[in-house]
Amino acid sequence: MNYASKLIEHLSKYANPSQAPGMEAYMKHHFVFFGIKSEVRKNALKSFIADHGLPTDADFESTMIELWQADQREVHYCAQELFFRKKWYSQEQSFQLIETMITTNSWWDTVDFIAANICGAYFKAFPEKISTIMPIWNLNENRWLIRSSFLFQLKYKTNTDLFLLEKLFEPHLKSKEFFIQKAIGWMLRDISKHNPSYVARFVNNHELMPVSLREAMKYI
């Protein structure tokens, strides 16, 4: 039995069918759940890693793909956490896998973790990739790549490239897509914690959609 199969079998032991319907409803029934709450899942993964370690370098990407194709959403959560624990974002070629994870089995719960944590770390490791990858993501038809083009800087705080962010926002300020509106506001809201004057100026100089505006002004 390979690593992915062992992990899925391990997680199945923690399944709680009584909790699964509520978790599935919260995610708009896009995914099937074992019914494992977050803290239990994280402890289950921790115990699995203690027994089996992390996937080997040679098998890592195939293991990630196998986990990402699993039916249960908790398996996807474990896959992205394994990616981050393994620091696979330090591998330049990992970009293709990152993009696959963003665009496959996509919803905000995984995309936001990948964008803020994995993409954020990847583009810190390879900043020269920003100028080639971000325009492609930002003008893509896939809403999750667009959202990720904003959110990869979510944890950059005072190191956020505001000029770049404005360029990425510009084509989407009038977007009718909720998840894009929300991400614009979320980024501005986070920046307002340490640079409220910038956000106030941005809001005054741009006509934002109501969702974006509400989020941006939350702390101002």
61 falls within a domain: no
Structural domains of the chain, count: 1
| 148 domain-assigned | yes
CATH number for position 173: 1.25.10.90
- Domain membership of residue 162 (yes or no) is yes
Note whether residue 173 is domain-resident. Answer: yes
Question: What's the Cα-to-Cα distance from 37 to each of 50, 63, 64, 191, rounded to whole Å?
Answer: 20, 23, 21, 31
Residue 155 falls inside a structural domain: yes
The verdict on residue 166 lying in a domain is: yes
Rounded to two decimals, the pTM is: 0.96
Q: At 32, phi and psi to the nearest 5?
A: -90, 140
Within-domain flag for 187: yes
- Asked, for residue 82, whether it belongs to a domain, the answer is no
Which pLDDT tens digits describe the chain residue by residue (220 residues)?
699 999 999 999 999 999 999 999 999 999 999 999 999 999 999 999 999 999 999 999 999 999 999 999 999 999 999 999 999 999 999 999 999 999 999 999 999 999 999 999 999 999 999 999 999 999 999 999 999 999 999 999 999 999 999 999 999 999 999 999 999 999 999 999 999 999 999 999 999 999 999 999 999 9
Domain that holds residue 172: 127-220
Residues 99 and 10: their CA atoms lie apart, in Å, by 27
